[in-house]
C-alpha cells in the first residue's frame, strides 16, 4: 500500500503566534489565510509590498523590518518561509525543524513539515485538497470541481446542525439512532429548505423533528430551468437537484446535452410540448407532477429556459400548491439571454436600444392578438418567443404600426447548442429569406437596431465553439 506523503490534519491556531518570513504577494496570501484562522502574525521582511501594507496598517500583523534572525522563532507555534531567496528559505526551515516547529516553505515540499492544501470553505465545513505539493495546479482544478458540487449553503446547514447536537443526544440515546436521524435531516426536506434560502422554516422543521421524529418525506417537485441548451449554463443548484431526482419530466425544449446530466438511473418521462402537437396536455402534466410526488418521488420538472418566462411554470405550481405538494423553483437562463449572447446581439445598447420587451408569439388560444402599438416603439428591442410560425404576421403588423421595413431582424435557431444558426434580414424581407430554409425549432426572433451588431460581435460564438472543440 502506498504511503501518504503528508498526514491530512486541521490545526487550531486561533490566538497563537505564527511567523511569516517574506514581504511579497505570496506572503500576503498566506497571511490572509492565517488571519482567517484567527492566528496572531509576526512578519519579518526588508519591506512590505501590496496587500501586506494594508494588513499592517489595520493592525492585522506585527511587522519587523529587516532580515530573518533565529530569535524571530521565539514563542512561535507555526512558521512560513515565503521569500524569493532559496538560502533564506532553507535556513528558516532548518532552524524551525530543529525546534520541532511546523514549517512551510512555499513551492518547496522537501523543506516543509506541512503544506497548504487547496481549500473549499463552507465554514464550519472545510474541505482540503492536496497533491502532496507535486501539482498545486491540479489541486486547484480539483477544488474547482468540488466547489461546483457543494452548495455554499452547506456552511449554514452545518451551523444549524451544531445548534441542535445536544438536544439530539438527549432525545436519541444510541449512536445508531442519532446517525439515522442526522442522515434523514441532511438528505431530506430540512436540508433542501436551507439550500433554497428558507433557513427559518428549516430551523422550525428541525426543532419539530427533534421533538416528534422525522416523518418520511412525501415527495417533492423541483421546477428547474434547464437554460437554452448549453449545459455549461446550468446553475450549480439545478445540477445538484437534477442528479438526485428519482423521476425526470421533460419536454422538447430540453437539449440532449442537458438531459444527459440527470441521474442515470432516474425514470425519464417525455411530455412532448411540440407546437400544434402537445403529446401530453398541460393539465395532465400538472396532475402527473402531483401524483408522482404523492408517491414519495423526488420529481425534476425540467423546463427549457426559465420556468417563469413563457414556461408555464406558474400554472404547474398553482396545481402543486392546491394539492399540498412541496416544491422548489430553480431559475434558469431564459432563451432571450442565451440566444442574444451566443449570436452576438446585445439586447440593449446605448446607441441602438434603451429598452427590451419579451413577448410570446403564440397565445393560449392560438391567436397573435398583441399590443402592436406598444411593441412598435423606436429604440426598443423586441424578443418574440415561439414566433416562428407567425413570423410573416409579426413583420407585417410591426410595419403596419409604424416600424420601418428596413429595421433589422434576426431569427436564432437552437441557440447556445452546436446546432445554432442565425438568420438576419429586415422586417420587409425576412419571411422571404427563410422561406427556402429548413428552420428547426426552438427558435427566437429578435427585432431592433441591435441586430446590426451581429456581424461585428458574432466572434464570441465562433471562439466559444473552437474552445469546446465543436465545428
pLDDT digits (tens, 9 = 90+) for 371-409: 999 999 999 999 999 889 899 999 999 999 999 999 999
Is-catalytic flag, 251?
yes
Would you place residue 183 in the very low, low, confident or very high pLDDT band (cuts 50, 70, 90)? confident
Give the helix/strand (H/E) hosting 2.
none
Superfamily classification of domain 341-468: Tetrapyrrole methylase, C-terminal domain (3.30.950.10)
Map out the domains of the chain as residue ranges: 17-116, 154-212, 220-333, 341-468
Burial of 222 (0-12, 13-18, 19+ CB in 10 A): buried
When pLDDT is cut at 50, 70 and 90, the band that residue 470 belongs to is: very low
Q: Is 389 a catalytic residue?
A: no
pLDDT of residue 466: 37
Residue 51 phi/psi, 5-degree rounding, is -65, -20
Residue in 30, 72, 230, 251 annotated catalytic: 251
**Given this structure, which CATH class describes domain 17-116?**
alpha beta
- Determine contact, residues 223/301, Cβ cutoff 8 Å: yes
Exactly one of 273, 297, 303, 397 is catalytic; which is it?
273
According to the model, what pLDDT value does residue 207 have?
A: 92
Q: What number of other Cβ atoms are within 10 A of residue 445's Cβ?
A: 24
Q: If one looks up domain 154-212 in CATH, what number appears?
A: 1.10.8
What per-residue confidence (pLDDT) applies to 272? 81
Q: For residues 121 and 116, what is the distance between their CA atoms, to the nearest angstrom?
A: 14
CATH number of 220-333: 3.40.1010.10
More confident residue, 107 or 300: 300
Predicted confidence at residue 463, as pLDDT, reads: 46
Whether 158 contacts 122, CB under 8 Å: yes
The least confident of 17-21, 63-67, 191-195, 421-425 is: 191-195
pLDDT digits (tens, 9 = 90+) for 326-341: 999 999 999 999 999 9
Burial class (CB in 10 A: 0-12, 13-18, 19+), 198: middle
Residue 123 near residue 101, CB atoms below 8 Å: no
Q: State the chain's mean pLDDT as an integer.
A: 89
Q: How far is CA 13 from CA 38, 98, 132, 169, in A?
A: 7, 20, 22, 29
Higher confidence at residue 183 or residue 129?
129
Amino acid at each position: 500500500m502506498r504511503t501518504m506523503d503528508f498526514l491530512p490534519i486541521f490545526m487550531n491556531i486561533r490566538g497563537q503566534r505564527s511567523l511569516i518570513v517574506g514581504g511579497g504577494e505570496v506572503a500576503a496570501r498566506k497571511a490572509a489565510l492565517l488571519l482567517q484562522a484567527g492566528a496572531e502574525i509576526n512578519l519579518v521582511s526588508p519591506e512590505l509590498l501590496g496587500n501586506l501594507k494594508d494588513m499592517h496598517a489595520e493592525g492585522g500583523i506585527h511587522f519587523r523590518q529587516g532580515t530573518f534572525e533565529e530569535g524571530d522563532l521565539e514563542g512561535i507555534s507555526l512558521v512560513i518561509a515565503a521569500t524569493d531567496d532559496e538560502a533564506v528559505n532553507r535556513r528558516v526551515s532548518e532552524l524551525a525543524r530543529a525546534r520541532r516547529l511546523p514549517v512551510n516553505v512555499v513551492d518547496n515540499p522537501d523543506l516543509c513539515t506541512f503544506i497548504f492544501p487547496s481549500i473549499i470553505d463552507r465554514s464550519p465545513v472545510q474541505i482540503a485538497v492536496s497533491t502532496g505539493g507535486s501539482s498545486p495546479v491540479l489541486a486547484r482544478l480539483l477544488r474547482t470541481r468540488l466547489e461546483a458540487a457543494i452548495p455554499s449553503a452547506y456552511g449554514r446547514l452545518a451551523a444549524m446542525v451544531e445548534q441542535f447536537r445536544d438536544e439530539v443526544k438527549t432525545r436519541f440515546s444510541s449512536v445508531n439512532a442519532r446517525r439515522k436521524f442526522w442522515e434523514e435531516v441532511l438528505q431530506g426536506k430540512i436540508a433542501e429548505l436551507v439550500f433554497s434560502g428558507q433557513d427559518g422554516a428549516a430551523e422550525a422543521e428541525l426543532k419539530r423533528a427533534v421533538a416528534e421524529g422525522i416523518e418520511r418525506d412525501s415527495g417533492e417537485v423541483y421546477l428547474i430551468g434547464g437554460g437554452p441548451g448549453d449545459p455549461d449554463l446550468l446553475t450549480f443548484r439545478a445540477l445538484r437537484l437534477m442528479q438526485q431526482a428519482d423521476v425526470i419530466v421533460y419536454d422538447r425544449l430540453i437539449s440532449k446535452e442537458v438531459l444527459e446530466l440527470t441521474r442515470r438511473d432516474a425514470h425519464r418521462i417525455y411530455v412532448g410540448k411540440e407546437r400544434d402537437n402537445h403529446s401530453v396536455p398541460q393539465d395532465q402534466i400538472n396532475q402527473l407532477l402531483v401524483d408522482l410526488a404523492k408517491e414519495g418521488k423526488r420529481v425534476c420538472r425540467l423546463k427549457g429556459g426559465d420556468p417563469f418566462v413563457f414556461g408555464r411554470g406558474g400554472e404547474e405550481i398553482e396545481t402543486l400548491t392546491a394539492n399540498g405538494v412541496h416544491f422548489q423553483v430553480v431559475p434558469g437562463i431564459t432563451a432571450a439571454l442565451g440566444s442574444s449572447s451566443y449570436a452576438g446581439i446585445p439586447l440593449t445598447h446605448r446607441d441602438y436600444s434603451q429598452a427590451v420587451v419579451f413577448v410570446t408569439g403564440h397565445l393560449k388560444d392560438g391567436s397573435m392578438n398583441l399590443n402592436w402599438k406598444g411593441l412598435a416603439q423606436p429604440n426598443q428591442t423586441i424578443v418574440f418567443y415561439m414566433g416562428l410560425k407567425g413570423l410573416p404576421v409579426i413583420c407585417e403588423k410591426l410595419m403596419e404600426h409604424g416600424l420601418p421595413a428596413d429595421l433589422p431582424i434576426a431569427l436564432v435557431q437552437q441557440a447556445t447548442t452546436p446546432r445554432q444558426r442565425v438568420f438576419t434580414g429586415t422586417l420587409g424581407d425576412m419571411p422571404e429569406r427563410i422561406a427556402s430554409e429548413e428552420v428547426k425549432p426552438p427558435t427566437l426572433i429578435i427585432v431592433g437596431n441591435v441586430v446590426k451588431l451581429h456581424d461585428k460581435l458574432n466572434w464570441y460564438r465562433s471562439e466559444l465553439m473552437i474552445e469546446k472543440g465543436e465545428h
